Amino acid sequence: MNVIAPKSPSPEAAATAWLSAFGAALERQDAGAIAALFLPDGHWRDLLAFGWDIETTSGAPAIAARLGRALPAIRPHSLRLAPGRTPPHPATRVGRQVVEVFLAFETALGRAEGVARLVPEEGGPGGLRCWILLTALQELRGHADITHRQRASEKDYSRDFGGPNWADKRAAARAYADHDPAVIVVGCGQAGLGIAARLGALGVDTLVIDREERIGDNWRRRYHSLTLHNEVHVNHMPFMPFPPTWPVFIPKDMLANWFEAYAEALELNVWTGTELSAGRWDEAAGCWEVTLRRADGGTRVMRPRHLVFATGVSGIPIMPRLPGLEDFKGTVLHSGAYTDGTAWKGKAAIVLGTGNSGHDVAQDLHASGARVTMIQRSPTHIVSVQEAQRVYATYAEGMPTADCDLLATAMPYPELKRAYRMMTATSKEIDRPLLERLAARGFRLSDGIEGCGFQMLYLERGGGYYFNVGCSDLVASGEIGLVQVDEVDRFVAEGLRLRDGRVVPAELLVMATGYKNQQEVVRAVLGDGIADRIGPVWGFDAGGELRNMWRPTPQPGLWFTAGSLAQCRIYSHYLALQIKAREVGLVG
């Protein structure tokens, strides 16, 4: 007689069984039952759903204990499969076979969603236990953003003939003639525009300032050949995705022009030609007193309750003091000020630094007919631009961008490191022929921090890597010269003198030497006291979260947002919710 083995439950049935058990344990506030639903080495990352911070907890006992402390106040209920999201499905994450499920639930504060990555485990509900859980607040109760408005109101139907029209109202809103904004955002790139759009949708009066003449100039004025290094489908902005006709890698001027259109379409209040020159926190009033300096020489003092720095991971350029530089007769500039190499055709140039900017500037100069030498200061991680897309592979799986954003957000720091290490090892093997040619040329290579490649270098240091779009091939072939920093003696009038006495001639020195931490941007305008109080910005803290980013800082009313277009799109939502919660009194 043939024995038919019982069929395994479908991913949806198994995930629903686990969700049902988890929801019941939450409503009973049963910490022991909660712990039993997780792997012993499981992780829980929470974005505001169970507390007003971004926090990761690891280990089933710690997860159960923290949930237990939060449950009485948060009162989660109605846990279910997230409606409208991708159904439960099998996936491979960090080399592990999982069932990935999007979940939704209600709390005392509002509506939340999340992701559970469940792995097969005997004895668990549906034969599953949780390896990774993400919970994320999506909407404050009673304070949904305007994108949830379903039908026109009486006000929408009325017409104010003889009164101010839309253009009049927009001009008045931008002028701030008779009031101050609740929030001032410093910086008009993807970070500043993204958080302004999110706050505007929540009804929080927000002004964005930027020292540049036009919106988008922080991209438009960068070097001529610049394009983004990650693919367009990863880079959409809040509420307004890029058109499907756009190129895979977005050119800088295209992006800059989009920023202008974005600000206009989303009715953002922007003052260009405006710089934050000074500010202080008024403890008694609970607001800032800031001085804004306009390009026309005028000033304006404002008293916003919140100040958001959106000046990017890159802030104040680092211009190192180099031996003999005062004797050099050529032109010296930072890579942030470099535009194109046309003026340097037939001339000799030196680029100090071998990160993305250094390589791109060197390649642009070479293409313009300059004779280029690079100085390498430290080992550099090199990865082909094709292989660099591996870290965004989830976005190529066919799911909606919003679902991919939750999946990307769900990865806790310990597993993120493991994932990056695996991807780096794979990319290194594929790129091996080029890497071997570079090593033979004397280029010093790095696998990044703990072998985690470019993404961890970006998140920890903001640089130290290059996505090869051709410059590495030029270095490996000798078409672009290479000097190690320990070969350098000093700069002289005609160029760079090496320790062996040779002189590398140069009429141009481009310092691709990076930028100071955003803490130093704060120090320059808000003073030492506040800068020292907040500490470094960016890089991971002891809890595996980026320091001072998108979350409360030690200074009330001071916030930071920065990063890639994807990071700004994702985390602007949670930053806006925190500011809105304070504006309506949910957070003291």
Listed by start position, the domains of the chain span 11-140, 170-315+516-583, 325-511
170-315+516-583 with 325-511: one CATH topology? yes
Q: Which ranges in 396-461 belong to alpha helices (H)? A: 401-409, 413-430, 432-441, 453-461
* The pair of three-digit structure tokens given for residue 345, joined into one six-digit string: 């055709």
Residue 148's pLDDT band (cuts 50, 70, 90): low
How far is it, in rounded angstroms, from Cα 168 to Cα 152? 22
How far is it, in rounded angstroms, from Cα 309 to Cα 165? 33
When pLDDT is averaged across residues 234-251 and rounded to a whole number, the result is 96
Size (the chain), residues = 588
Spatial neighbors of 354 by CB under 8 A, at least 6 apart, are 374, 375, 376, 377, 380, 443, 466, 512
What burial letters (b/e) apply to 485-522, b meaning 16+ CB within 10 Å? Answer: eebbeebbebbbbeeeeeebebbbbbbbbbbebbbebb
Mean residue pLDDT across the chain: 94
Cα 559–51–531 angle (5° rounding)?
25
When pLDDT is averaged across residues 172-186 and rounded to a whole number, the result is 97
User: Residue 6 pLDDT more than 50?
Assistant: no
**DSSP characters for 437-454?**
HHHHHTPPB---GGG-HH
Residue 467 pairs in a beta bridge with 383
User: Residue 504 pLDDT more than 60?
Assistant: yes
How many C-alpha atoms does 151 have within 13 Å on its Cβ side? 1
Residue 546 pairs in a beta bridge with 540
What was the pLDDT predicted at 7?
A: 57
- pLDDT tens digit string along 532-586? 999 999 999 999 999 999 999 999 999 999 999 999 999 999 999 999 999 999 9
How far is it, in rounded angstroms, from Cα 299 to Cα 297? 7
DSSP 396: G
What was the pLDDT predicted at 441?
A: 97
**DSSP characters for 198-228?**
HHHHTT--EEEE-SSSSTTHHHHTS-TT-B-
SS (H, E, C) 114-152: EEEEEEECCCCHHHEEEEEEEEEEEEECCCCCHHHCCCC
* The pair of three-digit structure tokens given for residue 232, joined into one six-digit string: 């367009």
Task: Just give the CATH number of 11-140.
Answer: 3.10.450.50
What was the pLDDT predicted at 8?
A: 67
Fold of 325-511: FAD/NAD(P)-binding domain (3.50.50)
What was the pLDDT predicted at 160?
A: 77
Q: Determine the 3-state secondary structure of 269 from DSSP.
A: strand
When pLDDT is averaged across residues 135-141 and rounded to a whole number, the result is 97
Residue 447's pLDDT band (cuts 50, 70, 90): very high
What was the pLDDT predicted at 100?
A: 97
Residue 1's pLDDT band (cuts 50, 70, 90): very low
How far is it, in rounded angstroms, from Cα 367 to Cα 161? 59
When pLDDT is averaged across residues 414-441 and rounded to a whole number, the result is 97
When pLDDT is averaged across residues 269-286 and rounded to a whole number, the result is 97
**CA nearest 186: which of 178, 196, 172?**
196
Q: What is the pTM of this model?
A: 0.94
Question: Lowest mean pLDDT: which of 147-156, 187-196, 249-258, 389-398?
Answer: 147-156
How far is it, in rounded angstroms, from Cα 62 to Cα 543? 13
432 vs 148, which has greater pLDDT?
432
What was the pLDDT predicted at 183?
A: 98
User: Residue 3 pLDDT more than 60?
Assistant: no
How far is it, in rounded angstroms, from Cα 102 to Cα 465? 34
- pLDDT tens digit string along 330-381? 999 999 999 999 999 999 999 999 999 999 999 999 999 999 999 999 999 9
When pLDDT is averaged across residues 406-433 and rounded to a whole number, the result is 96
223 vs 207, which has greater pLDDT?
207
How far is it, in rounded angstroms, from Cα 55 to Cα 452? 22
Cα dihedral: 525, 529, 534, 539 (round 10): 70
Provide the pairing of β-strand 331-334 with 306-309.
unpaired
> Which percentage of the chain shows pLDDT scores above 70?
97
What was the pLDDT predicted at 313?
A: 65
How far is it, in rounded angstroms, from Cα 156 to Cα 75? 37
User: Residue 255 pLDDT more than 60?
Assistant: yes
Spatial neighbors of 201 by CB under 8 A, at least 6 apart, are 145, 146, 147, 239, 576
What burial letters (b/e) apply to 54-73, b meaning 16+ CB within 10 Å? Answer: bbbbbbbeebbebbeebbee
What was the pLDDT predicted at 149?
A: 65
Cα dihedral: 149, 409, 80, 20 (round 10): -170
User: Residue 35 pLDDT more than 50?
Assistant: yes
When pLDDT is averaged across residues 83-88 and rounded to a whole number, the result is 96
Residue 17: CB atoms within 10 Å: 17
**Which amino acid appears at position 392 of this protein?**
Y
Residue 5's pLDDT band (cuts 50, 70, 90): very low
What was the pLDDT predicted at 4?
A: 45
- pLDDT tens digit string along 180-202? 999 999 999 999 999 999 999 99
Q: How many H helices and E strands in the chain?
A: 18, 25
Name the CATH code of domain 170-315+516-583 (choices 3.30.450.20, 3.50.50.60, 1.10.287.3510, 3.40.50.2300): 3.50.50.60
How far is it, in rounded angstroms, from Cα 39 to Cα 64? 12
